[in-house]
Structure 1
């Protein structure tokens, strides 16, 4: 299995030091990553930057593990949902230029009085439309378990099955299941045959005396992003499970803590490589 880091994993550094995508790629090479995961939200001028990024990736011989699109199908306007389909279709074109076979996608965000049941038809409709292009280009759309819509493994599974395309699979985020109070091990067992991409992430519960603002779960519990191995996720279970199914894809680190992002990611890379070499025993 190959190790990459999501660009979002160093978001605080990007904001603080005004990094470009090129800066991130150079950093990834410095810490000896196998590849990088890039996001649509970081383009300043995509048309200009994309050509430069492709050239830099070729120069440094760094592949792209996935290209992430920040779409949202939970919109009551059909026109607005069509724009989200266009966003994913554009992401497929960018992915082709970047040389990756995976486009990470979202389902959508809850707002107002809407529920998952309200939004599910819109999500399935949008992903079905985008899957037409994905199938033609042989690019996988990888649904991330994210937020309150498709945050649970049952929801991800249900949407994948309803879209019913071999090119719509799962980005398995190891940490996000904790935000909907699902054990990541159970989620893995449910989705293991549908995984095409992994976000290697960990969370811990906020301590009573901490002032740091965390991510609030569906039951109001605050979780703090941590370096993998310092939180609640049984990462060894997931790594060993991936070996059992002969997973050949990427493990992409996504750190969402408050410590220095560069230092945290470098430690995360070290731990993940160690975990892969050891087989995952007694970790997490």
Structure 2
């Protein structure tokens, strides 16, 4: 297994210090990782930057582990949903230009008046259409268990089975299952055959009276992002399970805590390397 770091893992530093892709890649080079995960939200001008970004990644002796997009198939109109499909299709070609065969995709966001059942067919139809291109280009569309609409393992599994494409699989986010009150280890048992990409993440429950804003779960519990190993995810068991399953893909750190992101990511890399030994 190879160790990567997501650019989103440094989001607080990016916002605070005005980092761009170059500064992130400079940091990654010094972080003892094998690859980097890039996101669509950080381009200033994708067409102008993409070739430079690919060359700079190589210059830092790294590779792009995955390319992440922020799509949402749960939209009111057919026109809007088609725009989201096109976003996924376009990302397949961006990923290839960056030298990766993994695109992290979302299903859709929880919105007032919509349930998973309401949006399920839109998600499946959108991924089926995008998968036609992904199959031709041999690029995986890896569904992250993200958000509160389709964040449970049985929902992700149902979508993958319904789309029925070898190139629609799972980005297994170790922490996000806690937001929908599911055990990450139980979720792993259900999705382990579908995993092509892993987000290495951890959360803890916010303490009573603690003056810090966390992420609200489906039942309103606040969770705080922490360095992997300091929270409620049994990362040892998940890494052991990945080894047993002969997973040879990427483990990509995605820190979402409030402490210094640079220090927290360096510690996360150290811990993950230790787990993999």
Tell me the TM-score normalised to structure 2 length. Answer: 0.99
Match of 1:189 in 2: 189
Deviation >3 Å, runs of 4+: none
Aligned partners of 1:232 and 1:42: how far apart in 2?
30
- Partner SS for 2:213: coil
Aligned partners of 1:246 and 1:110: how far apart in 2?
34
Match of 2:177 in 1: 177
- Partner SS for 1:33: coil
Work out whether 1:166 is the aligned partner of 2:163.
Answer: no
Aligned partners of 1:80 and 1:146: how far apart in 2?
20
- For residues 1-284 of structure 1, the aligned pairs below 5 Å read 1-277=1-277
Q: CA deviation at 1:265?
A: 0.2
- Partner SS for 2:198: strand
Aligned partners of 1:153 and 1:31: how far apart in 2?
31
Structure 1's unaligned 5+ residue stretches are 278-284
Aligned partners of 1:207 and 1:161: how far apart in 2?
39
Deviation readout 1:111-151 (Å, 9 max, x if unpaired): 12111000000000000000000000000000000111220
Aligned partners of 1:205 and 1:236: how far apart in 2?
19
Aligned partners of 1:81 and 1:165: how far apart in 2?
20
Q: CA deviation at 1:18?
A: 1.0
Aligned partners of 1:62 and 1:229: how far apart in 2?
25
Is the CA contact (8 Å cut-off) linking 2:205 and 2:223 kept in structure 1?
Answer: yes
**Equivalenced residues, count:** 277
Aligned partners of 2:24 and 2:8: how far apart in 1?
10
Deviation readout 1:214-241 (Å, 9 max, x if unpaired): 0011111100000001000000110000
- Partner SS for 1:74: coil
- Partner SS for 1:79: helix
Q: Which deviates more from structure 2 when the two are superposed, residues 197-206 or residues 49-58?
A: 49-58
Q: CA deviation at 1:61?
A: 2.1
Deviation readout 1:30-68 (Å, 9 max, x if unpaired): 112100000000101111111110110121221111000
Structure 2's unaligned 5+ residue stretches are none
Q: CA deviation at 1:176?
A: 0.2
Deviation readout 1:246-268 (Å, 9 max, x if unpaired): 00100000000000000000000
Match of 1:282 in 2: none
Aligned partners of 1:18 and 1:124: how far apart in 2?
37
- Partner SS for 1:220: coil
Is the CA contact (8 Å cut-off) linking 2:105 and 2:144 kept in structure 1?
Answer: yes
Aligned partners of 1:13 and 1:194: how far apart in 2?
33
Q: CA deviation at 1:17?
A: 1.1
Deviation readout 1:176-229 (Å, 9 max, x if unpaired): 000000000000000000000000000000011211000011111100000001
